[in-house]
Amino acid sequence: MGSPSAAGTRERVRHVTSADPHPGAGRPSTAGGTQPGRTRPEVGGEGRVVMSTSSAELVGRRVRLRPLAVTDFAAWRDVRRRSADWLLKWEPARLDGYPDPVEDRQAFAARCGARERERQLGSGYGFGVFVGGRLAGEMNLSGIQRGPFQNGFIGYWIDESFAGHGYTPEGCAVALRFAFESVGLHRIQISIIPRNAPSRRVAEKLRLREEGVAVRFLEINGVWEDHVCYAITAEEWWERRGDYEQEWF
């Protein structure tokens, strides 16, 4: 597919440095936002207003999202070891011949470094999900493409012992706010294997639009699996911003 690369149009994005973990929240409306007191960035087009992507931490009601660091290795290893049966069936298989970041601190450090480079390039933003200060899972905004697409994908997992408390939909709502209000994307997709009922519930709770099934879309655990594609555009985000605010922020 001849889609433009993430890096190719970065100069179109105006980054504004801010330490505010809720960029845009509580500021005067400048562009006709549906929520009084909210800044509504323009969507699409060269005049896009983009707020901060420099805040490392994103904050929800109960969850905190921040990039993982090498110092998280022990906690990450413990969760991943404990949850292997719960998680691996929904993930791409690890490539043969590469060190396992679950068992190898250097491989985990390299993974953190790769995420940091993506962050610097603006092609992806990876976060650990923390609940009550404990590492509970991960949430990734990845595959960002600029140009006329302005699209990204969200992926996630949570420790089995944290499942069922709505932490993932809350984390997703926080990541969507970041994607639309800070990164300035126009569309976010979540792709889910049809039989993954818990993950589909997450998309339903966020009222994402179900767009159909992409056949043999991703290779998961060694099998080319169909995926149900869910999506939300910036227009839909701003229409429902008040509801998301009440429910998740």
Ligand X SMILES: CC(C)(COP(=O)(O)OP(=O)(O)OC[C@H]1O[C@@H](n2cnc3c(N)ncnc32)[C@H](O)[C@@H]1OP(=O)(O)O)[C@@H](O)C(=O)NCCC(=O)NCCS
Count the residues of the shown chain that bind ligand X, applying the rule CB under 6 A. 20
Tokens of 197: 């009922």
Tokens of 27: 């500021």
Least Å from the CB of residue 61 to ligand X? 14
Report 156-185 residues binding ligand X (CB under 6 A).
156-158, 163-169
Q: Which pairs count as long-range contacts for 77-81, CB under 8 Å and 24+ apart, including other chains? A: 77/102, 77/103, 77/108, 79/135, 79/136, 79/137, 79/159
Does 196 participate in binding ligand X (rule CB under 6 A)? yes
Does 202 participate in binding ligand X (rule CB under 6 A)? yes
Among 49, 56, 86, 240, binds ligand X (CB under 6 A): 86
Is 145 exposed, middle or buried (CB count within 10 Å of its CB: 0-12, 13-18, 19+)? buried
Does 90 participate in binding ligand X (rule CB under 6 A)? yes
Which among 124, 122, 150 is positioned nearest to 139, based on CA atoms?
Answer: 124
What backbone torsions phi and psi does residue 84 show, to the nearest 5 degrees?
A: -55, -50
Nearer to ligand X, 139 or 234 (CB): 139
Does 188 participate in binding ligand X (rule CB under 6 A)? no
Does 195 participate in binding ligand X (rule CB under 6 A)? no
Does 143 participate in binding ligand X (rule CB under 6 A)? no
Residues in contact with ligand X by the rule CB under 6 A: 86-87, 90, 156-158, 163-169, 192, 196, 198-199, 201-202, 205
